[in-house]
Structure 1
Amino acid sequence: MRTQELSLARGTNRPLPTTVWRPTTGGPYPLILFSHGLQAAPKNYASLLTAWAGAGFVVAAPAYPFTAGTASNYNPIDVLNQPLDASHVITELVGRGGIDTQRIAAAGHSAGGVTTLGMFSGRRDTRLKAGVILAGRQLIKTPLTGPAAPLLFVHGKRDRTVAYADGHTVYDAVTWPKAFLTFPDGGHVAVGAELDVITEASTDFWRWTLYGDEAAKSRIPKDATRGSLGTLANHL
C-alpha cells in the first residue's frame, strides 16, 4: 500500500490534514473515513487502519483542528462540528478519483465514535453504507436517520472514559442491522490480542458491507470471539 499526506481544509479556519492509506494498484476502491479520539492523531491507529487498507480499502483519517493532539486551541466541544468536517474530507477524496462512490463508510474511536454517530444522525451523510463505532457514544441523543446502514459497535466493559452503558444505549436504539462486540475486561483503548480481534472482525465487517462478501459476514462471529476475549451480540 502507499501513504499520502493531504493538506485539506473546510473553509479558512478548519484545516484538516489527512493521512490516506490506499492499495497500490487497481481500483476504484471503497473508502473508509476514520475519526480519531480526543488529543489523538491518525498515526495512533495506524496498525488498524493499515490492516483495512491492506484488505482492499482506501482509508482516510483527518486530524481535526480543535481536538487532535497537535491542536493549539484545544476544545473538546468542537467534536460537534466534526461530522461536517468528515463529510467534507469524503467529498475531497471522491473528487480526487480512485474511490468507488457507491461504497463509502465511516468509523471512529471515542470522540471519533461520537463524530461517526453524528454522520449517521442529525448531520446524516447519505453516502455512508456502513459504520464502526469504537468506544463511542452520542453527546446529543438524536435518532439515527436516513437509509439503513449496518453498524458494528465495539466497547470494553471497564472503559473509564466512555461508559460501556452509554455505548450500549445507542446500540439498543438502532433499528438497522447491527452487532455489538463486548470485551468484558477491556478498557478505553484496545491493545494486543484485543486489537487483533477488532482488526479481524472489523475487516470482515467491511468486506461484507462494502464488497458484499457473504463468506466474510459468516466469519464475523468467530473473529469476534477468538481467544474468548470478547462476546458478540449479532443482529446483522
Structure 2
Amino acid sequence: MLRRRTALAAAALLTAGLAGCSGGTAPTERAAPTAPPSTTTPAPRSPAGHAPTESFAVGVRQLKLNRDGDRALPVTVWYPARGAAGGMPERSASAADGRFPVVMFSHGLGAWPEDYQLLLSRWAAAGFVVAAPRFPHTGAGGDGNVLDVLNQPADVSYALTQVLALDGKPGDPLRGRLDTERVAAAGHSAGGVTTIGLFTAGRDERLDAGIVFAGTALGVGTAFAGAAAPQLFVHGQADEVVNYASGKAAYDAVPWPKALLSLPKGDHGRALLTDGAALRVVADTTVEFLRWTLYGDAAAKKRLPADATRGGLATLDDHL
C-alpha cells in the first residue's frame, strides 16, 4: 500500500517535468484545440463478433525484454487461463483455449505494473491478454526521470512486437492464443501520456483502441494520426495531480469515436488500485469498451452507458 501511495504522489512530478520542456507553461494554460466533429464511422476496425460470455481464471508470467540493449523492459503478462474463475492470478498457469486480443498497459510514475493487478486481472478474466512493461526510468526503482516518458511510446511498440511474436513461437505457452490483429493500448498518469503518444507522434498503426486514465497530452501533443481508433478517457474531477481540465482538453482533441468517464469524487487514481464500487464501475466500463473495440461486440457497446453510470459514481460523455 505504501508503494501505491508513493506512486500516486510521485506522479505530481509529471506535470512539472513535462511543463518544463515546453517553456514552463502550466497544464491549465495548454488547452488543446477542440477537434471538428468526427466524420468517421463509429464502428471499430475489428470485424463484428462476440466477446466471451464466461469469466476465465487468470494466469500471470514475466518476460525479460530489452530495447536497444540499454532499456530493460521487464513485462508482466496477465492472460485467460484454464481452471476455475474467481481466484488470484496463478503464476505460469496453462492458457485457456481460444485466441484473445492484446492490451498493452503503461504504468504511472514510480509504479509497478503489479500495482494495477486488480484492474488488469479483471481484463484478463474477461478474455484479454494484458501486457505491462516496467519502464527503466519512470518505474519503481528507476531514477524518476520524468522526461523519459517521451521515449516510452517506442518502448510499448517494441514490447508489443515481442508479445505478438509469442503467438508463433514454438513451445511458448501463449503460442496460438493471441489474436494479433486486435490490439489496444491503455495507461495511467505518465502511462496515460505514453498511451496518447502511441496515437499521436508515436502512432502505432497496429492499435485499434486506447484507454487513458488520468492522462494529459503534455509532451506528446494532440495531433492524433492514422486510422480512426476509438478512445476512452477516465478521469477524476478531484484529481490532485493531473487536473481534470488537462485531461478533458486532450479528450476534446480526439477526432475519432470517443467517450469520457468522469468520476466527480475521483482523485488521481486510487479507484484503479483499491477494490471498491469505483473500481467496479471503471473495470466494467473498460471491459465493455474493449469487448466492443477488439471483439467487435455491438451488444457490449449498448451495455457500456449503463455500466458507466451505475450507482451514480460517474458520468459518461459518449461519442462512440
TM-score bucket of the superposed structures, by smaller chain: over 0.9
Name segments (4+ residues, structure 1) moved above 3 Å: none
Structure 2 residue 162 is matched with structure 1 residue 84: no
Task: List aligned pairs for 1:62-211, cutoff 5 A.
Answer: 62-71=133-142, 73-97=143-167, 98-140=177-219, 141-189=221-269, 190=271, 191=274, 192-211=276-295
- Decide whether the 8 Å contact of 2:222 with 2:250 is kept in 1: no
SS at match of 1:96: helix
Deviation at 1:214, TM superposition (A): 1.0
CA contact (8 A) 2:236 2:265 kept: yes
Aligned length: 235
Whether contact under 8 Å (2:59, 2:79) holds in the other structure is yes
Aligned to 2:75: 18
1:232 corresponds in structure 2 to 316
Q: Which structure 1 residue ranges, 5 or more long, are not aligned?
A: none
Percent identity, please.
53
Cα distance in 1, alignment partners of residues 254 and 217 from structure 2:
12
CA distance in 2: counterparts of 1:70 and 1:11, whole angstroms = 20
Q: Which has the greater radius of gyration?
A: 2
Name the CA distance, whole Å, in 2 between partners of 1:74 and 1:205.
32
Matched residue, 1:221: 305
**Partner SS, residue 196 of structure 1:** helix
One-letter amino acid of the counterpart of residue 90, structure 1 = L
The aligned residue for residue 125 of structure 2 is 54
CA root-mean-square deviation: 0.9
With structure 1 as the length reference, what TM-score do the two structures score? 0.97
Bigger RCO of structures 1 and 2 (CA < 8 A, at least 6 apart): 2
Match of 2:100 among 29, 38, 47: 29
Structure-2 separation of matches of 1:26 and 1:147: 31
| Distance in 2, Cα, partners of 1:69 & 1:120 | 25
Larger fraction in strand: 1
For the pair 1:3 / 2:60, whether they are aligned, the reply is yes
Q: Distance in 2 between matches of 1:35 and 1:200?
A: 19
What amino acid does structure 2 have at the position aligned with 1:226? R
Question: Deviations 1:27-54 (Å, cap 9, x if unpaired)?
Answer: 3210000000000011110000000001
Alignment check: 8 A CA contact 2:222 2:254 kept: no
The amino acid across from 1:87 in the alignment is S
Write the letter of the residue equivalent to 2:123: W
Shift of 1:194: 1.2
Q: Distance in 2 between matches of 1:50 and 1:96?
A: 20
SS at match of 2:208: strand
Aligned with 2:300: secondary structure? helix
Structure 2: runs of 5 or more not aligned: 1-57, 81-94, 168-176
Shift of 1:142: 3.3
TM-score (norm 2): 0.72
3-state secondary structure, aligned to 1:153: strand
Equivalents in 2 of 1:155, 1:121: separation in Å? 20
Residue equivalent to 2:50: none
Bigger CA drift: 152-161 or 92-101? 92-101
